[in-house]
Amino acid sequence: MRALRSPKVLAGSALLLVLLLLAVVGPLIAPHSADWQADRVSGLPLAPSGRFWLGTDQQQHDLFSRLLSGGRDTLLISFLAGLFACVLSVAVGVTAGFVGGLVDDLLSALANIFLALPGLLILMVIMKPLPPEETSDPLLIGSVIALTAWAWGARVLRAQTLALRAADYVEAARVIGERTWRIILFEVVPNLLPILASAFIFTVIYGIGTYTALAWLGVISPASVTWGTVLNEAQSSGAAVNGYWWWYLPPALAVALVGIALALVNFGIDEVINPRLTSARTGRARGVVFRLGLTPVLKSAAPQGTAPAPVPLKEAQP
C-alpha cells in the first residue's frame, strides 16, 4: 500500500476514522439525548458555557448532544448513497464498455442525460411530498440520492473498461473460452478498483452535501436529528443574522471535516492511479528537479537490502 505513505492520506484516513467512530458511539456518549430540553420556558438560545459546551438552541436542546447524535444518520446515508451509486455505476459503466455497440450508445446517452440533470432539485421534487416517516428512513433516502449520483462513476468506469477490453490478457481469456461474466468479474473489475474507489469517495462527498442540503432546506423531516436538520432549525430561526454562531457553526464544520477527510484520502488514490501526479513537495520525490519530458527515477526507490543485486547481463543468460 504505497498510498499509505503519503501524509495527506494518513491524515485523511485518521480523521475519517475518528469521525466514523464518533458517528457510531456519539449517541451513546452524548451527555443528553437529542430531544432533551433544558427547560421549556426560555426561548433564548444560550451561548456555550461549562454546562452546555456548545450552548443551546431556541427550544433549549443541548447542541453538543445534538452534534454527537446527528452524525450517525448523516454518515450512514452518505455512505449508503455512495455504495448504491457505485453498484449502479459498475453495472452501467462496465456493461456499456464491455458489450459496446447499441447497448453502449443507449447506456452512455442515459448516463449523459443523468449528468446534466440537477440532482438536488430533482430530489427536492421527489422528497417534498413524502411523509416524515419515509424521509427519516436512511436506507430509502440513501438509495434515492444514489439514483442521481451514479452517472459520473459510470462514465469514468466505461472509459476504463473500453481500454481494458482491448488489453491482451482480456483477449487471452476470451480466446481460451472463458465465459463473459467470468471475464468481467475476474479480469476487468479488479483492475477498475482504484477508479471505483475514487468514484465512491466522490459520491460520498456528493451524498453528504446533498443530504445535508436537503435537510437544511426542510425537505427532510426535522423529526430525525442530523447535522442537516440542526442547520434547518438554525436557518428558520435566523441564527446567522442574530449571531447564534454556536448553533450552526459546529454542524457545518462537522460536514466540512467529513468532506476534507474524504478528499485527502482521494488524493492518495489519485496518485496510485497515476503516479506521475505525485506532488513533488512531499514524500520520496522531495528535492527532485523535474525536467521537461523526463520522469525522474530515484535511486532510493528500492530500499537497501531488499533489492536484488544487479546481475551482469551475460551471466544471467542460461
Partner 1 sequence: MRTLLRRLGFYLLAGFAAVTLNFFLARLLPGSALQNALAKLRGANLDPDAIRALEAQYGTGADHSTLSQYLTYLSGLLHGDLGLSTSQSAPVSSILGDTLPWTLGLVGTATALAFVVGTLAGIVVGWKRNGLLDGLLPAVTFFQSVPYFILAFLVMMTLGYFGGFFPYQNGYDTGRHAHLTPGWNGPFVTSVIEHGTLPALTVVLASLAGWMIGMRNMMITTMDEDYVLVAAAKGLPQWRVAAVAARNAILPTISNFALSISLVVTGSLVTEIVFTYPGVGWQIYQAVLTGDYPLLQGILLVVVFTVLAVNLVADLAYVALDPRARKEA
Q: Where on the chain is the footprint of partner 1 (CB under 8 A)?
A: 8, 109, 112-113, 115-122, 124-126, 128-131, 152, 155, 205-206, 208-210, 212-213, 216-219, 240-241, 243, 245, 248-249, 252, 255-256, 259-260, 262-264, 267, 270, 274, 276-277, 279-281, 285, 288-290, 292-293, 295
Nearer to partner 1, 116 or 311 (CB): 116
**Alpha carbons 256 and 268: distance in angstroms, whole number:** 19
**Alpha carbons 290 and 134: distance in angstroms, whole number:** 55
Residue 47: DSSP 8-state: P
Nearer to partner 1, 52 or 202 (CB): 202
Cell of 165: 477490453
**Alpha carbons 260 and 248: distance in angstroms, whole number:** 18
**Alpha carbons 164 and 298: distance in angstroms, whole number:** 29
Residue in the structure block whose three cell numbers are 449502479: 88
Strand partners, 56: 62
3-state helix, strand, coil in the chain (%, to 5): 70, 0, 30
Nearer to partner 1, 52 or 206 (CB): 206
DSSP per position, 136-164: T-HHHHHHHHHHTTHHHHHHHHHHHHHHH
CB 156 within 8 A of CB 95: no
What count of residues does the chain have?
318
Nearer to partner 1, 72 or 155 (CB): 155
Nearer to partner 1, 99 or 285 (CB): 285
Nearer to partner 1, 241 or 307 (CB): 241
CB 93 within 8 A of CB 154: yes
Q: Is 217 exposed, middle or buried (0-12, 13-18, 19+ CB in 10 A)?
A: middle
**Alpha carbons 63 and 69: distance in angstroms, whole number:** 10
Nearer to partner 1, 191 or 235 (CB): 235
Q: Minimum CB separation from partner 1 for residue 124, in Å?
A: 6
